[in-house]
Amino acid sequence: MKYILLMAGTKAGVDNYRAWTKKDIDTHMAGLKSLVIDLRESGELVADQGLTGPEEAIVVCGQKEGMPVTDGIFPESKEFLLGYWIVDVATPERAYALAARLSTVPGPGGAPTNMPIEVRELASHPLNWS
Amino acid sequence: MKYILMMNATKANFDMYAQWSKEDLQRNVAFMRAFSKELKDSGVFVATEGLGWPNEARIVRAGRDGEPITDGVFAESKEFLAGYWIVDVESPDQACKIAARVSAAPGPGGTAASMPIEVRQVLTSFTDLGI
């Protein structure tokens, strides 16, 4: 079963993260890297991806045969996807355990970030267009 | 330059989608399949995924001993990722043009759904770095 673990945050949350000390950010990234290494070794990693910050986000609407209409204004409450990990696991519980581990990756002062991680199964119904 | 094109929707949007007629759904899915093929044929395709429905979504945090604590309650306003495409293009404009194409995917009655598509450049992944 393939699950996607989504890490998302508001623009304020991202600004807060950017104000962390370099040491805290390095420790945080090392925690994420170590998880990816473990997932690769266990054979559960399918893909991982980080995204650029919310200030880079553009929203595009298109009409049939029309040119793109772009906008970069979002509500303050908007949760921006910051990164994701796709894992191939035996049970949903294993996906939740991995999400919990992501949530324990160190934040400021080495304490767990306790970030909420959204867990979704990748669609296997006919609407999966891949 | 790699860009991710994200289709986000509230639970109400998903519920509406589920009520489209079979013909409308088939037309929409046929477009999505043709769109992915077109991306592959033009050499810009990197990845695409469709996600399960929001009623199966869980938020996970770690408890005191690192055990997962799951929750399935979300604000009505929450935007759920419905699916995404990652494309490797020459410019942000090219990414936006591709996003506009998918935004104009046929909706009810075959008219352009004009769904908003969020476009963001992606960073180098751990996988890309060989980690």
pLDDT in tens, A21-48: 999 999 999 999 999 999 999 999 999 9
Q: Which of A67, A77, A103 has the CB atom closest to B60's CB atom?
A: A103
Looking at the partner chain, which of A33, A86, A129 has a beta carbon nearest the beta carbon of B131? Answer: A33
CB contact under 8 A, B58 and A126: no
Report CB contact under 8 Å: A100, B57: no
State the Cα angle at A33 between A32 and A38, rounded to 5°. Answer: 100
The string of pLDDT tens digits covering residues B2-53 is 999 999 999 999 999 999 999 999 999 999 999 999 999 999 999 999 999 9
The shortest CB-CB distance from B68 to any of A49, A99, A118 is to: A99
- Has residue A127 got a pLDDT over 70? no
Q: List, in order of start, the domains of chain B with CATH numbers.
A: 2-129 (3.30.70.1060)
Which of B61, B73, B80 is the mutation pick for testing A, counting most A CBs within 10 A? B61
Rounded distance, CA A38 to CA A40, Å?
Answer: 5
pTM of the model: 0.93
At A52-106, the pLDDT tens digits run 999 999 999 987 666 788 898 999 999 999 999 999 999 999 999 999 999 999 9
Residue A130 has pLDDT above 60, yes or no: no
